[in-house]
Amino acid sequence: MSFERVAIIGLGLLGGSLGLAIRENLTGCTTTGYDADPKTRERAAQLGLVDSVKETASEAVADADLVILCVPVGAMADAARDFAGSLPAGAVVTDVGSSKQSVGEALAAALPDHTIIPAHPVAGTEQSGPDAGFASLFSHRWCILTPQEDAPSDAVAKLTQFWEGLGAKVEIMDAEHHDLVLAVTSHIPHLIAYTIVGTASDLEDVTRGEVIKYSAGGFRDFTRIAASDPVMWRDVFLNNRDAVLEVLGRFNEDLSALQRAIRNGDGEKLHELFSRTRAIRRSIIEEGQDDARPDFGRKDH
Amino acid sequence: MSFERVAIIGLGLLGGSLGLAIRENLTGCTTTGYDADPKTRERAAQLGLVDSVKETASEAVADADLVILCVPVGAMADAARDFAGSLPAGAVVTDVGSSKQSVGEALAAALPDHTIIPAHPVAGTEQSGPDAGFASLFSHRWCILTPQEDAPSDAVAKLTQFWEGLGAKVEIMDAEHHDLVLAVTSHIPHLIAYTIVGTASDLEDVTRGEVIKYSAGGFRDFTRIAASDPVMWRDVFLNNRDAVLEVLGRFNEDLSALQRAIRNGDGEKLHELFSRTRAIRRSIIEEGQDDARPDFGRKDH
């Protein structure tokens, strides 16, 4: 009933973690892998991220019943075309990209005769590359599938079972809605973090040394996010433009209102917002999506 | 040579941590404490945050050689006036507030005949209240002193020694410069975090449940900061208005430039910034100001 031969294309944080998670959780499932970068292939083989690292994408998918694309969203179409000629007829193709409308369209165009079920495990760290992977990355995290309406239901069921086998919780969602939700919960937070870290390093009157020394006042949390993979994130913003600009517009309105409140000394407005936002943190902790300990349980406590 | 009788006014996260840190690190130093909230006084006594909780601020400072104000920056002046009549002539007065120009002026006006050395330990968590305190809060963190030019150098030296005794590193700085540096490393990050959490909870097309479920994509980091004490942060923005508005102006310019880059599909500009911001994270970790482990070493890894 479930997938038995999984090909992973792209062996960075996500691809590597998938290989390790499959080995740890899915008995009887074998993995092949490929990465366009020869150094990453070599390192992935040393680390044993998959059962067998192949020299070409075509070799990696040749015997697969599930292919998972783990490359930046802007590289999905090329990666798919690279192995299109060798893909077995019945293989299901999926991915782990952070934007889903553009990826769904790109993969459908590159592989018109195959079953494609776009997916997005909402999990990751600020690190990247083959050394960053670990088997529990998806545990207790949500994985969103965005199949087209005409996608075969048995393939959707099998992919659901696959992700649940890795410890994830699965949700089915419309691709357009996914892109809006993730713009809020992931893309805009990254954009803002990148921006403020850039702003801080460009100020003339505050040295970089000062920014670093006094980062424990809040700034250091933003630098973690702003250390994420630059190519992955460039592609996210280029491929989820409309939703990102829409949410950014709302954020800018809200920030302008607070800016006015500060200028006018309107403490009541500030206090009202600052009180309201605590409830969301509590819910996130109750739902098991973050660590309840102060400062995320950083080691200095 | 060092302080022997320390009065702590305000027994929340900062005041409570100070009491515990003094007991753990400074042999021979006794502490008294007071909080305007009777429940906090009761809880502080149960927890033993200070050697003796007093029923009035005047009693708490009556025999002190150092008084540390640990109340929101907007409450400093009233808190100081409350005990002004009972303050021993030679006592040094300091504080832990996040803005320093306004606090320095307020305390100088309230206590014109005393030595005042404003201070700001750059440390804290998103939690607040007497139960949130812990003795190691200041360990390896920076504490910034902003004495006036005419402040007695022996008092500055003693306060430096005091903070170093609690495990902190001490820097002397001009109050105006402090307020600009902290606007960057602490105040604006908090303002932005509060804003995006507010924006997310106000969207019509994305439910609060979705925001919570998919928060591991980056948003959850912002909710930690946006769970900080509302009164403390209201006061910070009202009392560091000029520096906050100045840095916010720069942030808005930078964000607008990125917004244009996204709209125009300018991947090169996005990639350039996203690559540059990684270096700051590395420096913060090298300087011991954050945890190097992915995701801050949250427990799910």
Q: What is the pLDDT of residues A158-215, one digit of tens each?
A: 999 999 999 999 999 999 999 999 999 999 999 999 999 999 999 999 999 999 999 9
Quote the CA–CA distance of A79 and A63 in Å, as a whole number: 17
What are the structure tokens assigned to A199, written together? 């702003």
What are the structure tokens assigned to B82, written together? 């409350």
Instruction: Please give the average per-residue pLDDT across B136-140, as a whole number.
Output: 96
What are the structure tokens assigned to A142, written together? 């949500």
Quote the CA–CA distance of A172 and A191 in Å, as a whole number: 26
Instruction: Please give the average per-residue pLDDT across B208-213, as a whole number.
Output: 95
What are the structure tokens assigned to B208, written together? 């609060």
Same domain (yes/no): A11, A159:
yes
pLDDT digits (tens, 9 = 90+) for B45-87: 999 999 999 999 999 999 999 999 999 999 999 999 999 999 9
Same domain (yes/no): B94, B118:
yes
Quote the CA–CA distance of B81 and B77 in Å, as a whole number: 6
3-class secondary structure, B286: helix
Task: Provide block-wise average pLDDT over 10 residues at a time, chain A (301 residues).
Answer: 94 98 97 98 98 98 98 98 97 98 97 97 96 97 96 97 98 98 98 97 94 95 96 98 98 98 98 94 93 85 48
What residue in A sits closest to B143 (Cα-Cα)?
A214
Last residue of a domain, one of B112, B143, B173: B173
Q: Is residue B137 part of a domain?
A: yes
Q: Is residue B272 part of a domain?
A: no
Please, which pLDDT band fits residue B298 given cuts at 50, 70 and 90? Answer: confident
Rg (CA), chain A: 21
φ, ψ for residue A175 (rounded to 5)?
Answer: -60, -40
Quote the CA–CA distance of B98 and B62 in Å, as a whole number: 26
From the CB of residue B301, how many other CB atoms can be counted at a distance below 10 Å?
A: 13
From the CB of residue B5, how many other CB atoms can be counted at a distance below 10 Å?
A: 18
Q: Residues 6 or more apart from A234 whose CB is under 8 A from it?
A: A72, A74, B267, B270, B271, B274
From the CB of residue A293, how many other CB atoms can be counted at a distance below 10 Å?
A: 14
Same domain (yes/no): A141, A22:
yes
For residues B121 and B300, the model is more confident at B121
Last residue of a domain, one of B157, B173, B189: B173
Q: Which of B150, B179, B185, B145 is nearest to B164 (CA)?
A: B145
Q: Is residue B286 part of a domain?
A: no
pLDDT value of residue B1: 64
From the CB of residue B293, how many other CB atoms can be counted at a distance below 10 Å?
A: 14
Sign of CA dihedral A101, B199, A143, A155: negative
Pick from A213, A230, A262: CB nearest B244: A262
Q: Residues 6 or more apart from B249 whose CB is under 8 A from it?
A: none
8 Å CB contact between A227 and B281: yes
Q: Looking only at Cα atoms, what is the longest distance across chain A?
A: 67
pTM of the model: 0.95
pLDDT value of residue A123: 96
What are the structure tokens assigned to B270, written together? 């996005």
Tell if the CB–CB gap between A226 and B98 is shorter than 8 Å.
no
Pick from B184, B213, B301: CB nearest A206: B184
Q: Is residue A46 part of a domain?
A: yes
Last residue of a domain, one of B173, B200, B219: B173
pLDDT of residue B301 exceeding 70, the answer is: no
Same domain (yes/no): B148, B190:
no
Same domain (yes/no): A37, A77:
yes
Tell if the CB–CB gap between B225 and A231 is shorter than 8 Å.
no
**Which residues in chain B have their CB less than 8 angstroms from residue A278's CB?**
226-227, 230
pLDDT digits (tens, 9 = 90+) for B165-187: 999 999 999 999 999 999 999 99
How many domains is chain A partitioned into structurally?
2
Mean pLDDT rounded to a whole number for chain B: 96
Tell if the CB–CB gap between A185 and B98 is shorter than 8 Å.
no
Same domain (yes/no): B149, B21:
yes
B159 to B12, B49, B50, B179, B181: CA distances (angstroms): 21, 21, 19, 20, 22
Same domain (yes/no): A162, A79:
yes
Same domain (yes/no): B166, B184:
no
Quote the CA–CA distance of B63 and B81 in Å, as a whole number: 17
pLDDT value of residue A298: 85
Pick from B140, B181, B271: CB nearest A214: B181
pLDDT value of residue B69: 98
The H-assigned helical ranges of chain B are: 13-25, 38-47, 57-61, 76-83, 101-110, 153-165, 175-182, 188-202, 208-213, 219-225, 230-239, 241-263, 267-276, 278-286
Element (H or E) spanning B95, and its range?
A: strand B92-95
Same domain (yes/no): B155, B229:
no
pLDDT of residue B43 exceeding 80, the answer is: yes
Q: Is residue B292 part of a domain?
A: no
- CA angle B224-B220-B218, nearest 5°? 130
| CA A241 to chain CA mean position, Å | 16
Pick from A205, A281, A298: CB nearest B297: A298
Give the residue numbers spanning the domain of A32: 5-173
Same domain (yes/no): B41, B159:
yes
Same domain (yes/no): B23, B147:
yes
Q: Residues 6 or more apart from A112 whose CB is under 8 A from it?
A: none
Q: Angle, to 10 degrees, between the axis of helix B267-276 and the axis of helix A188-202? A: 70
pLDDT value of residue B300: 58
B11 to A1, A272, B132, B134: CA distances (angstroms): 61, 24, 10, 12
pLDDT of residue B120 exceeding 80, the answer is: yes
Same domain (yes/no): A164, A184:
no
Sign of CA dihedral A289, A291, A295, A297: negative
**Which residues in chain B have their CB less than 8 angstroms from residue A16's CB?**
none
**Which residues in chain B have their CB less than 8 angstroms from residue A197's CB?**
277, 280
In this structure, what CATH number is given to the domain that contains residue A121?
3.40.50.720
Q: Is residue A210 part of a domain?
A: yes
DSSP string, chain A: ----EEEEE--SHHHHHHHHHHHHH-TT-EEEEE-SSHHHHHHHHHHTSSSEE-SSHHHHHTT-SEEEE-S-GGGHHHHHHHHGGG--TT-EEEE--S--HHHHHHHHHH-TTSEE--EEE----S--SGGG--TTTTTT-EEEE---TTS-HHHHHHHHHHHHHTT-EEEE--HHHHHHHHIIIIIHHHHHHHHHHHHHHH-SSS-HHHHHHTGGGTHHHHHHHTTS-HHHHHHHHHHSHHHHHHHHHHHHHHHHHHHHHHHTT-HHHHHHHHHHTHHHHHHHHHTTSS--SGGGG-TT-
In this structure, what CATH number is given to the domain that contains residue A182?
1.10.3660.10
For residues B301 and B16, the model is more confident at B16
Q: Is residue A279 part of a domain?
A: no
pLDDT digits (tens, 9 = 90+) for B227-247: 999 999 999 999 999 999 999
Q: Is residue B87 part of a domain?
A: yes
A288 to B199, B220, B260: CA distances (angstroms): 22, 11, 37
